[in-house]
A and B are shown apart, each in its own frame.
Chain A
């Protein structure tokens, strides 16, 4: 469904992604794990067209999207829930959701997805008239996910959805991620919380300073001693 071939991304002179190739198949949850500064967010921003790769190719459903504008990428079916959530703090919860559906014209479908988002996150329904910035961290993360779902993505990119949240909220978020996936949405999940990510994902990639150093089915990665010591805190 999504394929990156030897992608290199730079910030000025900083070579952040150094020849990354990965693939995500329809229906999967694929996780990209790695420590601080490994290049996880840069990878997602490159896929979303916020940053252009210097070389390499990106394909989505066999169509090349390398260097395409973000609105086209969203229209094709890739939506991102960015790191730090990036919700609109002075728009209401409801307006935030509407912005997620910005490129859609089907009013009925939007209405339905609104209901669906409120079912997934009932707290958002209670807060629908409140400004996004007044929500708690966990609620903001829910809003960010709900907002992205309003675009009805085929592929959802999630950047560290567990960042800075209490363990119980993290559980809840990961449950929702599984649920979204069972609904038919393919997911590329970026995480530092490798434990949780590998548990929910089918397949994983390990990123280190801009390069994939390991990949495979989640179960294999979890049993790999190197991963266990470096990412799972097991000696």
Chain B
């Protein structure tokens, strides 16, 4: 049972990590907790189902289309909701983020209804539900393996974008000194848009994965996943991308083990407990910046 929970937790953790990087990157560049990030994740699931059912597109095309749409939604969210408040007190943007989260949830309810619906399983290859590997009693399904592989690949790509490309370096520069970055000719708003696009497209993949994994989607699904991914980001150290990845995985495993050994009723509570513990004992998180900087 331990091995099985570990496998389930790892799968879940990879998904949390994909969402968490979106929170942490946006926080890094504009010091805003983008509460509407969970809704982008939710919209992704609905958009994917819509693309499959309405246009009859194959799943792998749908994933790319959804990533693109969510990237666009993320960028719009920033341009219309957050950008006008860039010079305002942070609380104003934070409240706007909560407002946008509620707005998008309700928008989804109006468009798709509030009842949970299953994912279009017919669109998926049947082998996904069959075991791929087994260790003793524990098995890893093809779906889990696919989620794990896709998420790992995306994290590697993300890592390379952030650390090896010009725009990624600009993102990091911006998060370390905005005026300094602007003075180098970095178009700050464009880099912020890029950050939203990147985070939202990662969240989009996670949204589709969750909808498939649990075989359900509903307008408030972004809330729970969002809180957990946010907890993961805080655990890893908000603003740190590797931290968000590690935080997501730890949280996923903790949740699976907690649900398995204590009670599945505590599943969602574990994220809150972790977040509170981090805030009390190590507010900067696992990889949070606590380095001394010379002025």
Contacts and interface: CB of A to CB of B under 8 A. Distances in A.
Whether chain B is bound by chain A comes out as yes
A99 B182 contact: no
A14 to B, nearest CB: 15
A82 B180 CA distance: 8
B293 A151 contact: no
Interface in A32-67: 48, 50
Interface stretch (B74-82, B120-128, B170-178): B170-178
A94 B187 CA distance: 20
Interface in A165-180: none
A151 B166 contact: no
B179 interface: yes
Given A98-B166, A135-B294, A88 B176 contact: yes
Contacts of A100: 184
A19 interface: no
B294 A136 contact: yes
Contacts of A91: 169, 172-173, 176
Nearest to B167: A102
A90 B289 contact: yes
B176 A70 contact: no
A40 to B, nearest CB: 16
A102 B177 contact: no
A137 B294 CA distance: 7
Contact of B170 (A79, A99, A133): A99
Contacts of A99: 169-170, 173, 181, 184, 186
Given A71-B186, A91-B173, A99-B186, A140 B294 contact: yes
A72 to B, nearest CB: 8
A133 B291 contact: yes
A95 B176 contact: no
A87 interface: yes
A74 B183 contact: yes
Contacts of B179: 50, 82, 86
A134 to B, nearest CB: 8
Contacts of B169: 91, 95, 98-99
Given A98-B169, A133-B294, A82 B183 contact: yes
Contact of A151 (B173, B177, B180, B185): B185
A134 B294 CA distance: 7
Contacts of B293: 89, 133
A80 interface: yes
Contacts of A84: 295
Interface residues of A, number: 32
A50 B186 CA distance: 12
A90 B172 contact: yes
Contacts of A71: 182, 185-187
Interface in A125-149: 133-137, 140, 147
A112 B179 CA distance: 27
A75 interface: yes
Nearest to B174: A88
A103 interface: yes
A48 B186 CA distance: 13
A69 interface: yes
Contacts of A75: 185
Contacts of B294: 89, 133-137, 140
Nearest to B186: A102
A79 B291 CA distance: 29
A82 B169 CA distance: 20
Contact of B184 (A69, A74, A90, A133): A74
B183 A88 contact: no
Contacts of A140: 294
A116 to B, nearest CB: 18
A102 B166 CA distance: 8
Interface string B68-91: 000000000000000000000000
A71 B181 CA distance: 10
A88 B173 contact: yes
A147 B169 CA distance: 14
Nearest to B185: A74
Interface in B174-206: 176-177, 179-187
Given A70-B182, A151-B184, A151-B185, 13 more contacts: A50-B179, A50-B183, A71-B186, A74-B184, A82-B179, A87-B177, A88-B176, A89-B176, A89-B294, A90-B172, A91-B172, A99-B181, A133-B294
23 contacts: A50-B179, A70-B182, A71-B186, A75-B185, A80-B183, A82-B179, A82-B183, A86-B179, A87-B180, A88-B180, A89-B293, A90-B176, A90-B289, A90-B291, A91-B172, A95-B169, A95-B173, A99-B184, A102-B170, A102-B186, A133-B291, A136-B294, A151-B184
Closest 4 CB pairs of A and B: A86-B180, A74-B185, A103-B185, A133-B293
